[in-house]
Structure 1
Amino acid sequence: MRLWSRELWRIAWLATIGVCLGWLLGSAGLGLAAGLGVCLFHHLRQLRALFQWLTLNPNDEPPAASGMWGELLDRLYRYQKSQRITQGRLRATLARIQESSEAMRDSVVMLDRHGDLEWWNSAATEMLGLQTAHDRGQHITNLLRDPGFISYFNARDYSEPLTLPSPIDERSILQYQITLYGDDERLVMARDITRLHRLEQMRRDFVANVSHELRTPLTVLSGYLETYGDLADQLPPRLGRGIEQMQDQTQRMQNLVNDLLLLSRLEIDQGGQDHQPLSVEQLLNSIRQDALALSHGKHAVHVVIESDAQLLGSEQEMRSAISNLAFNAVRYTPTGSQITLRWAAMVDGGACIEVEDDGDGIDPVHIPRLTERFYRVDKGRSTATGGTGLGLAIVKHVLLRHEAQLQVESHPEEGALFRCIFPANRLIQA
């Protein structure tokens, strides 16, 4: 503010001198114009020096000047210096990021807001076949043309990774994960999970083969034990009790083998061939009868229908999934509990099947792991009720095959609610 006042005083002083000289020469107006002209010439000269400095030698020190122009040039110089320091730091940071990205074994691809390729590391060149000379600026779906990747990219739901064969080697399996950042830009990361995929396939094959091989000896054992059980009244009491226990354990093993085989089939088979419109009301009423038979009248089981839509899916798989939830409610709730099977519409256009009880509930710490194989909240009680520990894993896989998801809401002493949420494209309105 002081510099501005000083500059105004300088203009006023030059104008006054010009007026005085012009009055002495007989023309005060001409003198005023001459004074203002000298002032204008000074500012134009300083402006020219500023222009030359900024355009020709911006990295040199600013030209010498006094007053407001000197302060302006000094501030511009300090600003430029701080900007150069900041740019240097940013370049160093970008260089380190690029060096670290180049050192990664996983592919890293940066896309702009339109999905066009901006930058990628060397691993992406080897894993995805991207070429710097030809592919920069191309849309990602022009190079990764797998329909699964295109659907995943356009859906903009990147909460779960996508697993697909490599576009340059079908024997390699890649896992894609896309992250949104900045101005709707995207970061695509791909990692080679071929070894993990093969190990998982070996595990599935091993479980399926062992389960299949166990069926025959278990069937033989069960048959002989049933025969001996029919003759229990002719056997000594101790031997009769032993045969009864062997029958229970053999039946438990058969249930376990059947569940393992079902899980293996759900994992290996893509499914969808037997999907057809299902009457959810009929399905829930049928499951209710099975749950009442299992309960022997110790629980109250109700069916509530709040939607008339049909569900597109596999009747066998859906019956298996919802039956598991209903039977768990019977097994793990005390006598006299209320169990509700509900079919209801949702706000987003989808619908859900709910299995709710007012039993002992589940501690929320267990909920994230409930769908793991053989995970038990109470191991002693699960064994006593004859559970295999695979029921919720089967539910999870069935829902995945129906584009659905499982939500669990529960707290101790407040009951439990298992909600199977189906998208709108799985519904057929009446």
Structure 2
Amino acid sequence: MQDIRWKALWLGLATVFICLIIWAATDAMTALAVFAAAILLYLISHLFWLHKLLQWFKKPDLNSMPIGAGIWEDVFAAIYYEKRRHSRSQAQISSALDRFRHAASALPDGVVLLNGNDQIEWCNPTAEHQLGLSMKQDAGQPISYLVRPVDFIQYLHRQDYSEPIKLKSWRNAGATLEIQLVPFGANQKLLLSRDISQVEKLETMRRDFIANVSHEMRTPLTVVGGFIETLMDMEGAVPESTRSYFSMMQEQTNRMRRLIEDLLTLSQLENSPEAPQESEIDLSALLNMLLHEGNSLSQNQHHITLDPVEPGLFIKGAPEELHSALGNLVSNAVRYTPKGESISLKLLLRGTNVIFSVCDTGIGIEQQHIDRLTERFYRVDRSRSRETGGTGLGLSIVKHILTRHQGHLEIESEAGKGSIFSAVLPQSRLIRKTVASVDSLP
């Protein structure tokens, strides 16, 4: 821009100088006429090149760009170089976009790009096959018009995409899809779909294998345990020198039976995706039963307390399942809390949740173990688990039961300071009933 200004300045000074010479040689009117003609010619030239620039902008081709004259030569040169740089950048972007599309097209998973209105902008061939889409026909269509399962529509509108959902394929019988939405940019989303049919089959085979093996082992273990118990009860059948061995056999047989019972319970929960048969459960009665069971298991070696429960509180759920889940939390606290320490049971209403918490002053758990506690057979201290009779399946059972009741398990713990295990259920399951006062009774 500096060069253009200098050129305009020198051109103006030259015109004025020439007019002054004409004025000196002739008269003022002639010089003024020459100056006016020069200004008019200058404006006409600008209008001419502006017209050329406008015409070129309608079809901006580098090969047809005007060359210009004077100041306009620099203007057209600057536009030419900028246009060429832009063309190179655009070519690089187009090349990168083509490489991205080719890479996305080669993915074994389906990929659908959605705009802020959940309309399809692009999808790869895998998504077309899995979801029944057509890039040519469905571009610009809302995804909810084409992928219509109720679970997906609810997932799309829920705005919580932290976990994927599983859907039975509506195109291929027996196929299962895992779908997850990933937000990015300005309200845009990536829809990722994966065929997990083989994984589901393997998982079903694993569950069936565990259930069948556990069921088949239950009978022989019952027989062996029964014979050992009978022999130990028969006077003189077991010499005193070997009685300790029989006690060990009975202990290990009982441990195996507990393990098989837990495996069967877990398999039953995993193989029953439908909602459990529910009824109204009196929370006060349930928690008092858990307190009694905890004291029985503890044999008065711990100080177990239950905070007062508001009368008339009921919760909707499967009685056996919730009793098993909450009982597991209480028994774990008793097993892993040293003798003489305290355990407290609490029922809290927090926000939209009903929370049953078991607080202990036991050995606690280090933070790196907490996320894995609900895994099958995961134990922080294997030797201690064997001593306390744990199977490593209790918290996994708790997790499955709470999930079936739209709840979850929360764990807070610090090594050496104790733990808090909380079963969190939605308050929509809570039922309040009016309790008649004692004075009003006949």
d(CA) in 2 for partners of 1:63, 1:160: 59
1:102-150 Cα shifts (integer Å, max 9, x gaps) = 2222212222221222221112222222233433322222222222222
Aligned residue type for 1:313: G
Asked if structure 2 preserves the Cα contact closer than 8 Å seen for 1:255 and 1:388, the reply is yes
Q: Does structure 1 residue 139 correspond to structure 2 residue 142?
A: yes
Aligned letter for 1:142? Y
Q: Is the 8 A contact 2:284 2:309 kept in 1?
A: no
In 2, the alpha carbon distance for the partners of 1:383 and 1:77 equals 81
Deviation of residue 315 (structure 1)?
A: 2.1
Letter aligned with residue 264 of structure 2? L
Distance 2:258 2:136 in 1: 59
Structure 1 segment 415-430 matched on structure 2, within 5 A: 415-428=418-431
RMSD over equivalenced CA pairs, Å:
2.9
1:154 pairs with 2:157: yes
Secondary structure at the aligned position of 1:164 is classed as: strand
Q: Is the 8 A contact 2:231 2:237 kept in 1?
A: no
TM-score after normalising by structure 2: 0.87
- Give the whole-Å Cα distance in 2 for the aligned partners of 1:32 and 1:424: 91
Q: TM-score, normalised by structure 1?
A: 0.89
Counterpart for residue 303 of structure 1: 306
Distance 2:37 2:314 in 1: 94
* Aligned mates of 2:376, 2:112 — CA distance in 1: 36
Give the aligned residue type for 1:194. Answer: S
1:120, 1:6 → 2: CA distance? 55
Cα pair 1:110 1:118 within 8 Å, conserved: yes
CA distance in 1: counterparts of 2:85 and 2:279, whole angstroms = 68
Moved more, 362-371 or 59-68: 59-68
- Cα distance between partner residues in 2 of 1:98 and 1:427: 51
- Find the residue that maps to 1:345 and give its secondary structure: strand
Q: Which residue of 1 aligns with 2:437?
A: none
* 2:317 counterpart (294, 313, 316): 313
Using the alignment, how far apart are the partners of 1:71 and 1:153 within structure 2? 55
After TM superposition, the structure 1 stretch with the greater mean CA deviation from structure 2, 250-259 or 260-269, is 250-259
Q: CA deviation at 1:233?
A: 6.5
Letter in 2 for 1:152: Y
- Higher deviation after alignment, 20-29 or 116-125: 20-29
The answer (yes or no) to whether the contact 1:275–1:314 under 8 Å persists in 2 is yes
Match 1:352 to one of 339, 352, 355:
355
* Alpha-carbon distance in 2 for matches of 1:101, 1:156: 25
The equivalences for 1:28-47 within 5 A come to: 34=37, 36-47=39-50
The equivalences for 1:208-223 within 5 A come to 208-223=211-226
Deviation at 1:394, TM superposition (A): 0.3
Instruction: Tell me how far apart the structure 1 counterparts of residues 409 and 70 of structure 2 sit (CA, whole Å).
Output: 74
Counterparts of 2:191 and 2:142, CA distance in 1: 13
- Paired position in structure 2 for 1:324: 328
Q: Quickly say closer, same or farther: Cα 1:232–1:270, change in 2 above 3 A.
A: farther
Aligned to 1:367: 370
Q: Which amino acid aligns with 1:171?
A: G
Per mean C-alpha deviation after superposition, the further-off stretch among 375-384 and 315-324 is 315-324
Q: Helix, strand or coil for the counterpart of 1:318? A: helix
Give the drift of 1:68: 5.0
Question: Which amino acid in structure 1 is aligned with residue 140 of structure 2?
Answer: G
* Number of equivalences: 429
Shift in Å at residue 179 of structure 1? 1.0
Shift of 1:380: 0.6
- The 8 Å contact of residues 307 and 345 in structure 1, kept in 2 or not, is answered as no
Displacement after TM superposition at 1:384 (Å):
0.8
CA distance in 1, matches of 2:254, 2:278: 31
Shift in Å at residue 53 of structure 1?
2.9
* Offset at residue 363 of structure 1 (A): 1.4
Q: Residue 170 in 1 paired to residue 163 in 2?
A: no
Alignment of 1:6 onto 2:6:
yes
Aligned to 2:255: 252
2:293 maps to 1:290: yes
Q: Secondary structure at the match of 2:63?
A: coil
CA contact (8 A) 1:302 1:339 kept: yes
Distance 2:101 2:410 in 1: 41
Q: What pairs up with 1:332-347 in 2 under 5 angstroms? A: 332-347=336-351
Q: CA deviation at 1:187?
A: 1.2
Question: Would the alpha carbon gap of residues 256 and 46 (structure 1) be closer, same or farther in structure 2, given more than 3 Å must change?
Answer: same
SS for the counterpart of 1:78 is helix
Alignment CA distance shift 1:423-1:90 (3 Å):
farther
* Partner residue of 1:402 out of 401, 405, 419: 405
Give the Cα separation in 1 of the matches to 2:2 and 2:94: 39
Q: Does 1:73 align with 2:73?
A: no
Aligned residue in 2 for 1:90: 93
For 2:243 and 2:191, locate their aligned partners in 1 and report how far apart those are by CA, in whole Å: 65
Is the 8 Å Cα contact of residues 229 and 243 (structure 1) preserved in structure 2?
Answer: yes
Relative to 1, partners in 2 of residues 1:266 and 1:64: Cα closer, same or farther, differing over 3 Å? same
Structure 1 unpaired stretches of 5+: none
Structure 1 letter corresponding to 2:379 = R
Deviation at 1:32, TM superposition (A): 6.8
Q: d(CA) in 2 for partners of 1:48 and 1:307?
A: 86
- Cα distance in 2 for partners of 1:67, 1:295 equals 101
Q: 1:16 to 1:351 in 2, by over 3 A?
A: farther
Closer, same or farther: CA 401–65 of 1 in aligned 2, 3 Å: same
Q: Distance in 2 between matches of 1:17 and 1:53?
A: 36
